[in-house]
Amino acid sequence: MVSGKKIVVDINFKELKIESVSKSFPGVQALDNVSMKISAGKVHALMGENGAGKSTLIKILAGAYSKDTGNILFDENKLNIRNPNDSLNYGIKVVYQEISLISEFSVAENIFLDNFPTNSLGVMNWNKLYKDTEELFNRVGFNLNPKSKIADLSISQQQMVEIARAVFKNASVVIMDEPTSSLTPNEIEKLFTVIKNLKQNNIAILYVTHKIDEIFKIADEVTVLRDGQHISNKLISETNEELIIKDMVGRTVNATFERPKDILNAKTVMKVNKISSKNKIKNVSFDLHEGEILGFFGLMGAGRTELAKAVFGYDKITDGQIEVNNNIYKSFNTSTMVNNGIGYITEDRKGEGIVKDMNLRENMSLPSLKIFEDLFIINQKKEKKAADEYIKKFSVKTPSSERLITLLSGGNQQKVLVSRWLIRELKIIILDEPTRGVDIGAKTEVLSLINDLAKQGLSVLLMTSEMNDLLSLSDRILVMADGKISKEFYRGKVTQEEIFKASVN
């Protein structure tokens, strides 16, 4: 047995073995007797629907959760992981699904968080800290200033810091839980280079993603979990997209969308006129038609999120105006917009989406409580009925609508947040990365629901980094660069390349 206390990591193992690991939470069997092997120098993809148990498995490897039963081994040596420190000592490094950085610290401090360079008295060696970080970035090809504060970075930049941190040294196993969920294509390419690099250094990589095309680019092997159980394990060369999806969902899914032709002749429901905001939006104008899906594309920091927030009244606009429902607004807040029948789904689920002290039902009904009111009193029966309906519709994995939202898996939380707006009458919905972290089955459901609702007259502002979804759903695509709209494209008359070109403008 290898002691967890003080070990010099022996990178020369052949396989990280997970043997019959189980883990249950009250009311949920998150992992049920799962076994798998991750070989050194190989990328092992882990797939499964939301709530399948992927993150749970990772957290057990990381020492964040303790397993109920089972073993974890380097070849024949049992690992004794009691806490995150043990795991780090074994060289197991994790890029978590939710951003895990200290936002008041510099990039460099975050990278070396678990091992600050100090002298023997514990005094920080700042020069070494910055130099080592600089070197690391050069090595992995990221372009970040080691001294910038995390809070000043965009979500995707933050994700890059997380990735860099995991690979910096002493890694024997690198685990990535949906690392690309907020990266742009350009950055994803960089990440793949990093991963190839890691492979060459004989590091074992466990890679969790919902983006199926990625695994054919980098993975050597794929394991699928469903409901906490091991379903299949195949070499990448022996499988294909359809097979994997079938293993994951238990059926096949179809993801192409029909859009009505003459949508741009429909009446205008929102006119955004030359708005600017304190954070970066400059002179943006566009119209939105009834039933239209208006897609937005932009590279990291292009300002889509800021635009969404400015339109929704979260950020004050400093200039320009917005016309909805024949009202012209120069100064407005979120409740003005909600009252005008506009909804918003954030890209930052944990920070701005879920209300952690509330259960699933209460989270779902938050913006729509008025419709459940009898006089002044909330009719909880009505409320619960609506919640149950959407739990069923999106197959949210939960024992009941009364479960605390924080106990759901990331993707299931996202489904709740989507439902939050669909249970009320909406004219316009603003979607900022609505399918981030949502599994392929549910994603198709969410997207076809958006499509259906749009056909019934709902207008959609769609901000997504998933080019395929954008192309297949949008009636028009606006490309943003540096807070401005750089180009407008029409459905069917544009290629991926053209969009990219416009976005680097």
Partner 1 sequence: MKYFQTNESILFGLLVLLCIFLSFYNPQFYSIQNIHSILRSSSTVMIVAFGMTILLTSGEVDLSVGALMSFVTVIVMDVINITGSISLGLIAVFGFCLLIGLINGLVRTVLNVNSLIATLAMMLILQGSVYVYSMAAIYNTHLIPLFSFIGQGFFLNIPMPVVIMLFILPFFVVLLNYTRYGRYFSSIGSNPDAAKLSGINNNRYKVLGFVITSLLVGVSGVILASLMDTGQQGSAKGFELIVIAAVLLGGTSFMGGKGTIIGTILGILILKIIDNGIILMRIPQEFQLIVPGFILILAVYFDGIRKKNSG
Partner 2 sequence: MNNILKYLRKGELALFIIFLIVFIIFSFSSEYFFTLRNIMNVSGQLSIILIAAIGFSVLLIAGEVDISIGSLLAFVSLPLIEIMNITGSVPLGIILCLIFGIIIGLINGYLSVYLGVSSLIVTLGMLFILRGAVYLYTGQRAIPDELMSDFFFYIGNGKFMGTIPYAAIIGLVILLIFIFVMRNTSYGRKLYAVGGNQEVARLAGYNIKLLKLSAFVICSFLSSISAIILASRIGSANHVAGDLFEFQVVAAVVLGGVSLAGGIGSLTGAAIGVLILSVISNGLGLLNIDTQWQLVVNGVIIIIAVGFDELKRNR
Ligand X SMILES: Nc1ncnc2c1ncn2[C@@H]1O[C@H](COP(=O)(O)OP(=O)(O)OP(=O)(O)O)[C@@H](O)[C@H]1O
Residues found near ligand X in the complex (CB under 6 A) = 25, 28, 30, 48, 50-56, 97, 152, 154-156, 182, 298, 300-306, 347, 397, 407-412, 437, 439, 465
Is 410 one of the binding residues for Mg ion (CB under 5 A)? yes
Residue 109's binding partner among partner 1, Mg ion, partner 2, none (Cβ under 5 to 8 angstroms by kind) is partner 2
Q: Which of 326, 331, 324 is nearest to 275 (CA)?
A: 331
Tokens of 81: 């992981």
CA distance 83 to 86: 6
Count of Cβ atoms closer than 10 Å to residue 26 Cβ: 7
Residues present in the chain in total: 505
- Tell me the per-residue interface mask from 245 to 284 with partner 1, x by CB under 8 A, - otherwise: ----------------------------------------
- Which spans of this chain sit near partner 2 (rule: CB under 8 A)? 62, 64, 83-85, 87-89, 94, 96, 100-105, 109, 113-114, 116, 118, 121-124, 126
CB of residue 3 to partner 2, shortest distance in Å = 16
The listed partner (Mg ion, partner 2, partner 1, none) that binds 48, CB under 5 to 8 Å by sort, is none
* CA–CA dist 195, 205 (Å, integer): 8
Q: How far is the CB of 121 from partner 2 (least distance, A)?
A: 8
Contacts (CB under 8 A) with partner 1, residues 164-223: none
User: Is residue 383 within 8 Å of residue 322, measured between CB atoms?
Assistant: no
The contact mask relative to partner 1 for 413-452 (x = CB under 8 A, - = no) is -------x--------------------------------
Total interface residues for Mg ion by CB under 5 A: 6
φ, ψ of residue 355 in degrees (nearest 5): -105, 110
Question: The tokens of 143 are what?
Answer: 């372009």
The residue within the footprint of partner 1, chosen from 105, 314, 329, 500 (CB under 8 A), is: 314
Residue 305 interaction partner, one of partner 2, Mg ion, partner 1, none, beta carbon < 5-8 Å per kind: Mg ion
Site string for partner 1, 333-372 (x = CB under 8 A): xxx-xxx----x-x----xxxxxxxx---x--xxx-xx--
CA distances from 251 to 246, 306, 397, 412, 468 (A): 5, 38, 17, 19, 21
Q: Based on CB atoms, which residue is closest to partner 1, 165 or 403?
A: 403
56 contacts which partner out of partner 2, partner 1, ligand X, none, CB within 5 to 8 A by kind?
ligand X
Helix (H, G, I), strand (E, B) or coil at 36: strand
Nearer to partner 2, 149 or 487 (CB): 149
Centroid of chain to Cα 456: 28
259-to-18, 291, 331, 437, 455 alpha-carbon distances in Å: 46, 10, 34, 25, 8
CA-CA distance, 418 to 344, in Å (whole number)? 9
- Residue 90 or 312 with smaller CB distance to partner 1: 312
Q: Which is nearer to partner 2, 63 or 434 (CB)?
A: 63
Among 235, 88, 232, which Cα is nearest to 169's?
A: 88
- Give the contacts of 267 (CB within 8 A, at least 6 positions apart): 289, 290
- Decide whether 220 or 315 has the Cβ nearer to partner 1: 315
- The footprint of Mg ion on residues 37-56 (CB under 5 A) is 55
Strand partners, 459: 428
What whole-number distance in Å separates Cα of residue 141 and Cα of residue 2? 35
Q: How many residues bind partner 1 (CB under 8 A)?
A: 32
Cβ-based nearer residue to partner 1, 208 or 338: 338
410 binds, among partner 1, partner 2, Mg ion, none (CB under 5 to 8 A by kind): Mg ion
Beta carbon nearer to Mg ion, 89 or 158 = 158
- Residues 383, 384, 389, 393, Cα dihedral to 10°: 100
In a 3-state reduction of DSSP, which class is residue 284? strand
Q: Which residues contact Mg ion by CB under 5 A? A: 55, 97, 304-305, 347, 410
